[in-house]
Structure 1
Amino acid sequence: MRVAIVTVGDELLSGDTVNTNAAWLGEELTDRGVSVERVTTVPDDVADIARVVNEYRAEHDAVVVTGGLGPTHDDVTMAGVAAAVGRDLESHAEAREWLTGEGGYSADGLVEGTTELPARARMLPNTEGVAPGAVVEGIYVLPGVPSEMKAMFGQVAGEFDGTETFTTVVDVDEPESELIDRLDEVRTRFDVTVGSYPGDSVRVKFTATDPTTAEDAAAWLGARVDLVEER
């Protein structure tokens, strides 16, 4: 399954808020065997949201959008998604019923726009907040508040699947530039994906569809490099 993630918010682009949602979703989806191929942040702008979501839904099995839900002036994600799929925003009866029933809100107390979703979308209740999410044409629209996003993703996590993968990591005490030949050779010898991430050391990550292959590749490299000593 091929998935793209779109995070929405001017505060993410300005650096006022750290984009932890993208990292969390990427890890969760990868753990489910899903191939996350794009992570993009867009501003609170209907046209930008519609353009990116429309492009990604044509290229991927699903698009996960997070942020910008609610009735305030800069909460325009639902309008952008509706534009991407060519549907109107409509007051969603099920969303209103859930909020006035399970949610404990009065009909008069709901701010105008709270229950508006793209026409014929599937409503996702927000068990940790107010603004509902939605699923429409393979687009999963989730809140931006991390606790709300995580709870809502839990409702649909079973709809994301792929080939389970296994990873093994080796910490190497050599410059990344000096590892090129050995990394090329380990890719040739083993059916693994290899990622190298420099920092205080070089973290080499092996990913395979079975644990033995990942472990064998890690062992082969580990015997041919200087490893970081455990303290």
Structure 2
Amino acid sequence: MNGALVTVGAELLAGRTTNTNATWLCRRLHERGVDVERVTTVPDRVTDIARVVNEYRAEYDVVVVTGGLGPTHDDVTMAGIAAAFGRSLERNDEALAWLTEEGGYTREDLTEGTADLPRGARPLHNDVGVAPGAVVESVYVLPGVPEEMKTMFETVADEFTGHPVFREVVVADEPESALVGRLEELREEFEVTVGSYPGDGVRISIESTDEELTDAAAAWVRERVEEIDPDSAS
């Protein structure tokens, strides 16, 4: 399974808010074996949301969208999703029933439009907030508030499946340029994904869907570099 992530919000583009949702979601999807190939941030604009989501849903197995849910003037994500699918935005009776029966709200408590979702969407209930999320075919729409996003994601986490990825890290006390030959030899010797990241030492990341192969590749590297403790390197 491969996927793309779309985060919505002018505050992200202006640098006023750190995009922690993208980092958290990429990590959780990676843990579940989903290969995230795109992370895109768009403004609170229906046309931008619709264009990017429409492009990505045609290219990837799943698309996860966060931010811009709710009934206020700049919460336009659901309208953008509806436009991407050529559907109307309408009140979802299941979402409204959950809010009033399980969420403890009355209709008078809820702002007009709170339960509006793209026609035919599967609502995702918000256990720690108000605005519901939704699933439309392969597109998952989650809140932007981190606690709400994380809680809602866990309710659908089992729907994101792939081959689990095993990872080992070796930190070499050598310049990255000195490791080029050995890293190339590693890639020829083992069918693994290799990344090298300089810092205090060079952090060599080794990944594959085969745990024994990953361990063997890491052992091969450790025999050929002067290793330092990964916890002491940044």
TM-score bucket of the superposed structures, by smaller chain = over 0.9
Seen in structure 2, the aligned counterparts of structure 1 residues 222 and 153 have a Cα distance that, compared at 3 Å, is same
What is the CA deviation profile of residues 98-140 of structure 1, one whole-angstrom value per residue up to 9, with x for unaligned ones?
1111111110111011111000100000001000000002100
The residue that corresponds to 2:157 in the other structure is 157
1:226 positional shift: 2.3
Q: Distance in 1 between matches of 2:7 and 2:198?
A: 26
The residue that corresponds to 2:215 in the other structure is 215
The residue that corresponds to 2:126 in the other structure is 126
Deviates more, 1:1-10 or 1:196-205: 196-205
Q: Distance in 2 between matches of 1:92 and 1:9?
A: 24
Q: Distance in 1 between matches of 2:108 and 2:206?
A: 55
Indicate whether 1:40 and 2:46 are aligned.
no
Could you tell me which runs of 5 or more consecutive residues in structure 2 were left unpaired when the two chains were aligned: none
What is the CA deviation profile of residues 52-103 of structure 1, one whole-angstrom value per residue up to 9, with x for unaligned ones?
1111000011100001100111111101111111111001111111111111
What's the TM-score once normalised by structure 1's chain length? 0.97
Deviation >6 Å, runs of 4+: none
Indicate whether 1:21 and 2:12 are aligned.
no
Matched ranges for 1:95-114 at <5 A? 95-114=95-114
Q: Distance in 1 between matches of 2:34 and 2:43?
A: 26
Q: Distance in 2 between matches of 1:47 and 1:55?
A: 12
What is the count of residue pairs matched by the alignment?
231
Give the residue type in structure 1 aligned to 2:156: V
Give the residue type in structure 1 aligned to 2:16: D
The residue that corresponds to 1:87 in the other structure is 87
The residue that corresponds to 2:57 in the other structure is 57
Q: Distance in 2 between matches of 1:17 and 1:182?
A: 40
The 8 Å contact of residues 174 and 226 in structure 1, kept in 2 or not, is answered as yes
The 8 Å contact of residues 124 and 134 in structure 1, kept in 2 or not, is answered as yes
Could you tell me which runs of 5 or more consecutive residues in structure 1 were left unpaired when the two chains were aligned: none
Q: Distance in 2 between matches of 1:229 and 1:150?
A: 32
Q: Distance in 2 between matches of 1:112 and 1:141?
A: 20
The 8 Å contact of residues 85 and 137 in structure 1, kept in 2 or not, is answered as no
The residue that corresponds to 2:167 in the other structure is 167
Give the residue type in structure 2 aligned to 1:175: P
Q: Distance in 2 between matches of 1:229 and 1:77?
A: 45
The residue that corresponds to 2:10 in the other structure is 10
